[in-house]
C-alpha cells in the first residue's frame, strides 16, 4: 500500500528538488588538524653543566709558581783552600766556595776572616777588601750558584815584617764567614802557611763565579 502525500507536502518537496543544481554533489569538506608529535622523553638524565674554572683555579706557569733563589747561607756552603803562590814577599792564597745544598742560591760580596792560634785563640787579623795587590780589581757582582758548583776568592798577604814589627804570628786555623752571614766555616792551616805581617793584614777579592776574572 503506497503512502500518499498531502498536496502541501508534495509541493514543498518539489520546491526543494527544483532549487538544487543538476549533477553530482561535491563531497562535504572535512577539517584535518595536523599535530606535531611530541618526542618521547629519554630515560637517561642529561649530564650536569660544567662550570668554567675561575681565574684563581687556573694553573700558574712554572716560572710564576717557582720561588726566586734565596741568598747562600753558611750551612749550604763548603770552603776549602785550593793553592798558593808567591812573589816579591807577597803570598796569594786561593780558596773555593762550593754550594753543597740542593737548591741554587745567590751570592754577593766579600768573606770575613779571623785567624786563630794553635790554642784556638783569635789574634790580630785585618781584612782589607780589594786591598794591596787587588786594588785595581772590580767590585763584587751578584751571581747564581747552582748546587754542586763552586765559586772562588783570593787572599794576599805579606810575609815581610814592617818597621819594628817582630816575627809575624802564624795561624793554625782560619775562620771564614760568607757574605751577610753570622755562621762560619773553620779551615785548618795544614800543608800551607798563613803568617801575615803588617798587623795581620789580609787583602781579599770579592767572591767570583767560576771562570770570572
Looking at the structure of the chain, the number of domains it has is 1
* Main-chain dihedrals φ then ψ at residue 121, nearest 5 degrees: -90, 140
Tell me, yes or no, whether 164 lies in a domain. Answer: yes
Tell me, yes or no, whether 194 lies in a domain. Answer: yes
The strand order across the sheet containing 173-177 reads: 112-116, 173-177, 185-188
pLDDT the model gives residue 69: 93
Tell me, yes or no, whether 44 lies in a domain. Answer: no
For the stretch 152-177, pLDDT in tens is 999 999 999 988 888 899 999 999 99
Tell me, yes or no, whether 24 lies in a domain. Answer: no
CATH number at residue 89: 2.60.40
Range of the structural domain that residue 193 is part of: 70-209
Tell me, yes or no, whether 7 lies in a domain. Answer: no
Q: Is the pLDDT of residue 42 over 80?
A: no
Query: Radius of gyration over alpha carbons of the chain, in Å?
Result: 53
For the stretch 89-143, pLDDT in tens is 999 999 999 999 999 999 999 999 999 999 999 999 999 999 999 999 999 999 9
| Residue predicted with more confidence, 169 or 43 | 169
Tell me, yes or no, whether 88 lies in a domain. Answer: yes
The residue written with cell numbers 787583602 in the block is: 203
129, 138 Cβ separation under 8 angstroms? no
Amino acid at each position: 500500500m503506497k503512502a500518499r502525500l498531502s498536496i502541501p507536502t508534495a509541493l514543498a518537496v518539489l520546491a526543494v528538488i527544483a532549487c538544487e543544481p543538476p549533477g553530482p554533489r561535491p563531497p562535504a569538506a572535512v577539517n584535518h588538524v595536523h599535530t606535531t608529535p611530541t618526542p618521547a622523553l629519554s630515560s637517561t638524565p642529561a649530564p650536569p653543566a660544567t662550570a668554567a674554572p675561575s681565574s684563581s683555579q687556573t694553573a700558574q706557569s712554572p716560572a710564576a709558581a717557582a720561588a726566586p733563589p734565596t741568598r747562600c747561607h753558611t750551612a749550604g756552603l763548603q770552603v776549602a783552600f785550593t793553592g798558593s803562590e808567591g812573589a816579591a814577599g807577597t803570598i796569594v792564597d786561593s780558596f773555593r766556595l762550593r754550594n753543597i745544598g740542593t737548591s741554587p742560591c745567590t751570592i754577593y760580596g766579600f768573606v770575613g776572616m779571623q785567624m786563630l792560634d794553635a790554642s784556638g785563640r783569635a789574634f790580630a787579623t785585618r781584612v782589607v777588601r780589594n786591598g794591596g795587590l787587588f786594588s785595581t780589581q772590580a767590585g763584587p757582582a751578584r751571581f747564581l750558584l747552582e748546587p754542586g758548583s763552586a765559586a772562588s776568592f783570593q787572599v794576599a798577604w805579606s810575609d815581610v815584617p814592617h818597621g819594628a814589627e817582630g816575627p809575624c804570628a802564624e795561624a793554625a786555623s782560619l775562620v771564614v764567614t760568607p757574605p751577610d752571614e753570622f755562621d762560619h766555616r773553620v779551615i785548618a792551616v795544614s800543608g800551607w802557611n798563613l803568617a801575615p805581617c803588617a798587623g795581620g793584614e789580609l787583602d781579599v777579592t770579592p767572591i767570583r763565579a767560576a771562570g770570572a776574572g
